[in-house]
Amino acid sequence: MSHAISPLALPFPAMPPVAGVALRVARARYKTWDRCDLTFVTLAPGTAVAGVLTQSRCPSPEVEWCRRALVLGQARALVVNAGNSNAFTGDRGRQAVEAIAARTAAHAGCQPSDVFVASTGVIGVPLPIDRAEAGLDAAFVATPCDWQAAAETIGTTDTYPKGATTTAIVDGRPVTLVGIIKGSGMIAPDMATMLGFIFTDASVDPAFLQGMLTAANTRTFSCITVDGDTSTSDTVLAFATGAAGNATLVDDDSTGADAFRAALTDLCHQLARLVVRDGEGASKLIEIAVTGADNDRSAHRIAMSIANSPLVKTAIAGEDANWGRIVMAVGKAGEPAERDRLSIRFGATQVAEAGLAVAGYDEAPVAAHLKGSEIEIGVDLGLGEGSATVWTCDLTHGYISINADYRS
């Protein structure tokens, strides 16, 4: 974790243990830092798993490993490495993942395919197998830790640990959902995001869990962006241990399925916004709501065009109500839009409508809104029923400083 904590940071919440999940951390020393950088999680036999993974055409060996293992739907262990993404490392990278899975499987008494591996950090440097194995050996005998220690250990340029929790009643039984996530830059997911890990004691069929996670991802992790860049290593995994003892959720007709789906989506929403709050150099959280588009997909693309515009993001950083930059971002999105139907608001104040600035609008409430830490931008295209909401952050000098010095 960095020392300059984001001004948008939220305190780490009190998070209960999840039956069937044990957390341990250790020092593998992937970088020259004095901190834990390897997280080892054991999962009860019978744990179901689902995941969403980066759509990058240059994925890490860890992503490829998880993609194959997810087909089987079962998990017994998770290993997360911080400080080295092991991406773009050829056979040496693949060998490192295989070695981690084999050593962990031998310790846990399971198959290598039951072990999930994720890594984050610098691209192009092979993960040192000797350090990984030494880190694993230390983790195997470490005292179990809490969620905050695990959240801190999976971070890289994060300035604060990120976690969230919620509950639901499923089949008459209380179930717990807990998640930890890391992410600060290189955040613009395409069906996945950063590194995020969700744990629940509910009993859920793997295929049904996969469907619910995919749907939740579409509305949460795939609706955030810090800088428009998609990582080679983006991974979100959800593990369901079944220890709550509910009748297994197998489809939408299962008792409590709706409640669990809502809880899972809420948890993903909480985690996604925590990442944007830690956007590298961020000083403002920005919510962009697009309505009146041809369809939801079109609305999402327009919203992301606005969210990824450096001109929009720097205007917000400078607290400048330059709504012309919003018009620019809508126009370049490649989606249906009609200039003379377009309306734009900052906060609750309408600043433009029907292709023109609102006559005599008072900029004072807009200026006051932009001085806050949470900014709302609304765009209505006046074309149809499509809508989407995405979240981003402003672009400051801090982003340049962090990324110019990233490898040092």
Q: Which residues pair with 380 in a beta bridge?
A: 291, 343
- Rounded CA gap, 185 and 194, in Å? 9
Which residue in the block uniquely carries the two structure tokens 């940071």?
A: 9
First to last CA, the chain: 15
Q: From the candidates 176, 193, 241, 392, give the one annotated as an active-site residue.
A: 193
Residue 385 burial by Cβ neighbours in a 10 Å radius (0-12, 13-18, 19+) = exposed
Task: At 253, give phi and psi (nearest 5°).
Answer: -85, -10
Q: Checking phi first, is residue 107 left (phi over 0); if not, alpha (psi -120 to 50) or beta?
A: alpha
SS3 14: coil
- Tokens found for residue 101: 């899975």
Q: Is 225 a catalytic residue?
A: no
Integer CA distances (angstroms), 167 to 174, 297, 375, in order:
7, 30, 29
Instruction: Give CA–CA dist 184/277, Å, rounded.
Output: 8
Binding-site annotation, residues for substrate: 156, 182, 193, 280, 403, 408
348 within 8 A of 361, measured Cβ to Cβ: no
Q: Which amino acid is at 134?
A: A
The C-alpha atoms of residue 76 and residue 110 are separated, in whole angstroms, by: 7
- What type of residue sits at position 310? P
Query: What's the one-letter identity of residue 255?
Result: T
Q: Which residues are catalytic?
A: 193
